[in-house]
Structure 1
Amino acid sequence: MLFGPFFSVMASPTKVTLQLKWRHQFQFAGYYVAKELGYYRDLGLEVDIVEAVGNDTDSVAKVLDNHAQFGISHSGLLKHRLQGQPVVAMAALMQSSPYCWLVKKHSPIFAPQDFDSKKISSLSASENAELITMLANEGIQPEVVDIGAQEPLAAWIEGRLDAIQVYITNEPYTLAQQGIDYRLVCPKQHGFNVYGDVLFTSQTFLDAQPEVVARFYQASMRGWRYALLNLQHSIALTKRHYAVDKSLQELAFEADQLKPLMMRTGSTLGAMSDARWRLIAELYALDDKPMQEYFRGFMYQPIQQSGMRLSWMFILAIAIILVAVPTYVRLVVQARKSK
């Protein structure tokens, strides 16, 4: 990237914040790589990557309140847009959701209808919407059990719950370490295939700083391409600088589980489509009228116009002139003096 380093020469870096929807782990490795390998810095950005605190996973509110300029959400981001909130989806890093139901290996639960009257843990309507909708669309009403202060996984192991919501990289790793058999019942298996880990910004910030958004997008995608093609390095980097409490084995398990959701044959990294988002709206049973009113502009279009490229090339040309002309003049003066 010929012009990249000149952003730091010509002006101080632009400071922005990326709000994660969970705590540091390989799930966000592409952004760590972009920061630690200098991809953001090369494009004139200073990025603060903030993890979720406790169970506060509402990255949308933080971006809309301008506490962060970028965030990571899920397919439920579309619902926010259709409610009139100015969120803009930049990339869908996971082409399928990593949320699934966890059941015992010999459980009679295989499909949504099998959940009827079964005991499950409480769900977050905002974070795990696809798990709820998968059951609701079939008219299934499981029994939601209040397990108090006990962790859902412990209650599931004890048999107090028939199924719990899981992220495919977390609880399954714990169970594998303990030698406990399990099965996963995932929305994708039953016709409910939605995006996961959607990078987004606000329309307000996009309108005010389109080139900053373009640079952040470019550097982030570069970071993810490197992370997925260099797993050992990106796992080690994640462990060293961010997920310090996780083992390399745990991060490697996570990478193995997530990589197939991100790098799919025939699909560009982070790809989104109008048709897929409209299908997701139907799966979530979102109203068609707001779709017609608010969907336009929901998907970010990376800036590739000649105007922006010209501005970068102009910066490069000015930087070269500022360096080359004084050097040339000095050499000419020295040559004349030596005669």
Structure 2
Amino acid sequence: MSNMEVKNKSVVLDIFLRGLTDDTELQPLIFVFFLCMYLITISGNLLIMLAINCDRHLHTPMYFFLCHLSFNDIYLISITVPKMLVNIQTQDQRITYAGCLSQVCFVVVCTIFECFLLGVMAYDRYIAICNPLRYTVLMNPCFCIILVLISLTISIVNGLVHSLMVLHLSFCTDLEILHFFCEIAQVLKLACSDSLINNILIFVSASIFAGVPLYGIIFSYTHIVFTVLKMPSSEGKYKAFSTCGSHLLVVALFYGTGFGVYIISNVIDSPKKIAVASVMYSIIPPMMNPFVYSLRNKDMKEALKKVVGRIASLL
């Protein structure tokens, strides 16, 4: 390949995000649809965070982790959707090379951090049900903060490593991504240089940083189920399962959509359909999490009513 056909990373200026469709008639509908989902996600997760911080009854490890999960969901959807909305509104599909790399980094950070948070929340439920007498000692505030900081640090380092590895690649002149944001797998497809090491790194990091939390979740809930089944009281069983139900739904939603997109991307050879499927794991879980926790949790419902009441009184 000649030097004229390759554009080195140092001179790459813009990348074109083709989005979900090129149909100009559908784009206004997509704009309204994604704007509504974005506003619902932001408002829902902000309400969850406000409810947890304003209600002393929710100052427990489980809701401490949920607060960080809501913040992470807000950040994750804010990385991708606003840029997409601006592109549709201005009819300018460009994103700078630096902006694209930033999206790659932050999406990886938020995705891995979400995996760790879900794993930590499963561990919290495991201690609460299987070792209730030692719960306050084991899940003390200092330990909870350390768990979050370690999870965030690993996620940030992982995201930076992926971004730095992309910097070593050279890119072809046709810099178009058939997606609505810079997903790392799509960015690697633009490279003219060998990206084998990058792909191996993605596989290894996903297996470790998404697989280990999933294994921890399965391990925790296996012990929880056996512990709950040994309880003599049916009321105790119901209470134990009800505290885990919301978390299990969120785990199923996050990992289920993620695996679904992975399977679709390997079965369907259509970038547009893969981009549409990616909406399922990048936007749907952050939007649905507040509904899952508010609709299935009595304490959260009461806290949300108080917050909404206070907000209404101020308006």
Larger helix proportion of the pair? 2
TM-score computed with the length of structure 1 as normaliser? 0.23
Larger strand proportion of the pair? 1
TM-score computed with the length of structure 2 as normaliser? 0.25
